[in-house]
């Protein structure tokens, strides 16, 4: 950890205050909380959690870079899919967790060029700081369209439109489970030991979680992994609100058959701090992002069980290529090196199997709209779920 960039005194004070808040939650619960409770507080505790405080999170000065931050090609390609679907709905777009607002800017600009602007663009976010940045960025980039953008902190009762979540599911609190050296399966939680946060495994209190763990976790000793009840619940809730339209989720993850392979015995939980990957989830709570990969089989089943049509599942690279990213890149002049090379480099990161192209997946659901989508015209992988 000594190689990681130092935090400012102000940031350290915020992290210490959050540690006190988490410590109190552990004490109030009798000395132990499920890991999901720890992760929720670390990310979302009002005024102190990673997504609820004012630290820079995205871009060169933040902790990670998302696809929209890399290049407008991402939003421009996505716009072609949205333009195909939007006229089949009441014309609204709902984006969850919009970061700096970059995807909204690129989507709106490209939809305007395509002659298919939404009636409204609703951003749903839990971070007051990010919502303010989104207002500023959208107002500066698209002042003539800023009036179409609205903000909300809760899910509407009814949705008739297109729902988008880019790197949303991975940031939802996950449960952790561990099969010990005797192959006993237990729930992993957080306690305080020697004045610091530490893992402690206990018997399952939730019968449903215990049943899921028994079904998913390989019967081998010392196997650690995650199960996201939050992902399942979110998709079910979203399905309940969707009256007509589409849901598109893009995130890093796997089908269950890949997620719970015997060789993945260390799980997928990771921290992101100033563009470094951190294995210790207790490092500077509130200053470090925590994520786990998405089990897309579970997401798909949750949507189907809630009455949605599963439209498609494929790699991010295949989805973007289907939506015309390669053709858009080919329009640029490769001899104009100063313009072409940065765009080509960003496209390579989006599409390369060694970068984001294969690890990230696109999954879509629909209700009372066409099941033939541009983004899944080739390379659909629903059969792997």
Comparing CA positions, the residue from 68, 77, 81 lying closest to residue 377 is: 81
Q: Which two tokens stand for residue 333?
A: 């002049």
Q: What does the alpha-carbon distance between residue 363 and residue 251 come to, in Å, rounded to a whole number?
A: 9
Query: Quick check: 1 pLDDT over 50?
Result: no
**Which pTM does this prediction carry?**
0.94
Query: Quick check: 300 pLDDT over 90?
Result: yes
Query: Quick check: 2 pLDDT over 80?
Result: no
Domain 34-172+218-384: assigned CATH number = 3.40.50.12710
Q: What does the alpha-carbon distance between residue 120 and residue 126 come to, in Å, rounded to a whole number?
A: 19
Query: Quick check: 198 pLDDT over 80?
Result: yes
pLDDT of residue 63: 53
Query: Quick check: 58 pLDDT over 50?
Result: no
Query: Quick check: 218 pLDDT over 80?
Result: yes
Query: Quick check: 60 pLDDT over 50?
Result: no
Which stretches of 185-277 are DSSP H helices? Answer: 207-216, 229-241, 256-259
- Mean pLDDT, the chain, integer: 93
pLDDT digits over 116-170, tens only? 999 999 999 988 888 999 999 999 999 999 999 999 989 999 999 999 999 999 9
pLDDT digits over 334-357, tens only? 888 888 898 889 889 999 999 999
How far, in whole angstroms, is CA 35 from its chain's centroid?
18
pLDDT digits over 232-281, tens only? 999 999 999 999 999 999 999 999 999 999 999 999 999 999 878 899 99
Q: Which two tokens stand for residue 343?
A: 């765009």
Query: Quick check: 215 pLDDT over 70?
Result: yes
In this structure, are residues 105 and 138 in contact, taking their beta carbons and an 8 Å threshold? yes
In this structure, are residues 137 and 70 in contact, taking their beta carbons and an 8 Å threshold? no
pLDDT of residue 346: 87
């Amino acid at each position: 950890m000594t190689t990681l960039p130092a935090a400012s005194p102000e940031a350290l004070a915020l992290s210490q205050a959050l540690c006190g808040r988490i410590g109190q939650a552990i004490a109030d619960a009798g000395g132990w909380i499920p890991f999901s409770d720890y992760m929720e507080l670390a990310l979302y505790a009002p005024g102190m959690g990673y997504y609820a405080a004012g630290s820079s999170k995205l871009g060169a000065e933040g902790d990670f870079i998302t696809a929209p931050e890399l290049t407008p090609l991402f939003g421009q390609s996505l716009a072609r899919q949205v333009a195909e679907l939007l006229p089949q709905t009441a014309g609204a777009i709902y984006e969850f967790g919009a970061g700096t607002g970059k995807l909204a800017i690129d989507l709106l600009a490209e939809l305007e060029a395509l002659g298919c602007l939404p009636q409204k663009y609703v951003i749903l976010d839990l971070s007051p700081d990010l919502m303010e940045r989104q207002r500023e960025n959208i107002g500066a980039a698209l002042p003539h369209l800023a009036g179409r953008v609205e903000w909300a902190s809760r899910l509407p009762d009814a949705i008739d439109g297109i729902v988008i979540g880019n790197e949303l599911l991975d940031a939802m609190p996950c449960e952790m489970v561990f099969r010990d050296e005797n192959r006993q399966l237990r729930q992993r939680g957080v306690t305080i030991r020697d004045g610091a946060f530490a893992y402690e495994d206990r018997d399952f209190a939730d019968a449903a979680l215990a049943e899921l763990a028994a079904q998913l976790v390989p019967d081998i000793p010392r196997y650690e992994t995650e199960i996201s009840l939050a992902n399942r619940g979110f998709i079910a809730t979203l399905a309940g609100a969707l009256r007509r339209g589409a849901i598109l989720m893009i995130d890093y993850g796997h089908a269950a058959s890949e997620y719970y392979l015997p060789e993945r015995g260390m799980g997928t939980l990771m921290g992101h701090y100033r563009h470094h990957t951190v294995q210790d989830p207790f490092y500077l709570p509130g200053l470090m992002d925590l994520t786990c990969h998405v089990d897309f089989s579970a997401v798909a089943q949750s949507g189907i069980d809630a009455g949605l049509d599963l439209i498609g599942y494929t790699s991010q690279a295949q989805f973007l290529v289907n939506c015309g990213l390669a053709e858009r890149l080919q329009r640029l002049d490769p001899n104009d090196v100063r313009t072409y090379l940065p765009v080509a480099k960003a496209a390579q990161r989006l599409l390369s199997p060694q970068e984001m192209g294969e690890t990230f997946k696109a999954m879509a659901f629909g209700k009372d709209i066409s099941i033939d989508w541009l983004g899944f015209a080739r390379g659909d992988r629903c059969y792997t779920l």
